[in-house]
C-alpha cells in the first residue's frame, strides 16, 4: 500500500495562513527535464491556463518585478514594461533569480519572496474559481481563489500576454 506524505508547509503557505486565506497544497512528481507549467498542469489535473507561472523580470531602471501569467501563454515584455511604467523589461537572469527571490526555477512565487517586489498578474487570473501557483518549491502547488491571491500579493491586474505566434499560411 502506498501513500503520499502530507506536503510540508512552505513559507508561501505560512504567509497565506497568517492572512487567514484558504488554499490547498497539491504535490506532484518533479521532472527536471520539463519544469513547464503545462507539464505541471497535467500532473495536478488542471488545464494549463489555470496554472499560473511566476516570472522575475527586470525593468530598464533596474527594478525587479514579478509577472504572473497563465501556464499556456507567453509573457509580453512590452506590455509588462508599459504597465510597470518602464521603457522596457526583460526576464531576470536565471543566476539572479534565487539570490533575489529565495526561490529556484520551477518554484518561484510572489508569496514570501525575499523582497516585496511589485507584482503584476495577467487579467485572465480572474476567469477561474481556482488557480494554481508554485508554493515556493518544485513539486508543490498552491490552489486558491484568484481574489485571495491578489489580496495576498497586492498584484496589479493587467493584460500581460501575447498571442501564440501564428503559423504562416
Structural domains of the chain sorted by starting position, each given as residue range(s) with its CATH number in brackets: 11-160 (3.90.960.10)
Would you state the cell numbers that stand for residue 123, as one nine-digit string?
487579467
Residue 8, pLDDT score: 79
Residue 164, pLDDT score: 65
- Is the predicted pLDDT of residue 1 greater than 50, yes or no? no
Task: Summarize the confidence of residues 149-156 as an average pLDDT.
Answer: 98
pTM across the whole model: 0.91
Given a contact cutoff of 8 angstroms between Cβ atoms, the answer to whether 117 and 64 are in contact is yes
**Paired strand residues for 120:** 67, 156
Residue 55, pLDDT score: 97
Residue 163, pLDDT score: 72
Say how far apart CA 99 and CA 77 lie, in whole Å.
22
Half-sphere exposure of 19 (CA within 13 A, CB side): 20
Say how far apart CA 6 and CA 26 lie, in whole Å.
9
Amino acid at each position: 500500500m502506498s501513500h503520499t506524505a502530507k506536503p510540508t508547509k512552505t513559507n508561501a503557505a505560512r504567509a497565506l495562513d497568517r492572512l487567514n486565506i484558504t488554499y490547498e497544497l497539491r504535490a506532484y512528481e518533479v521532472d527536471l527535464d520539463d519544469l513547464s507549467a503545462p507539464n505541471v498542469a497535467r500532473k495536478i489535473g488542471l488545464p494549463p491556463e489555470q496554472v499560473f507561472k511566476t516570472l522575475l523580470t527586470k525593468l530598464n531602471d533596474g527594478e525587479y518585478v514579478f509577472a504572473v501569467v497563465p501556464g499556456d501563454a507567453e509573457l509580453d515584455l512590452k506590455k509588462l514594461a508599459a504597465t510597470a511604467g518602464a521603457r522596457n523589461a526583460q526576464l531576470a537572469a536565471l543566476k539572479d533569480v534565487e539570490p533575489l527571490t529565495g526561490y529556484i526555477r520551477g518554484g518561484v512565487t510572489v508569496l514570501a519572496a525575499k523582497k516585496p517586489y511589485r507584482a503584476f498578474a495577467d487579467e485572465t487570473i480572474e476567469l477561474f474559481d481556482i488557480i494554481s501557483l508554485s508554493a515556493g518549491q518544485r513539486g508543490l502547488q498552491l490552489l486558491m481563489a484568484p481574489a485571495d491571491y491578489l489580496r495576498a500579493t497586492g498584484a496589479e491586474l493587467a493584460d500581460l500576454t501575447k498571442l501564440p505566434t501564428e503559423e504562416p499560411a
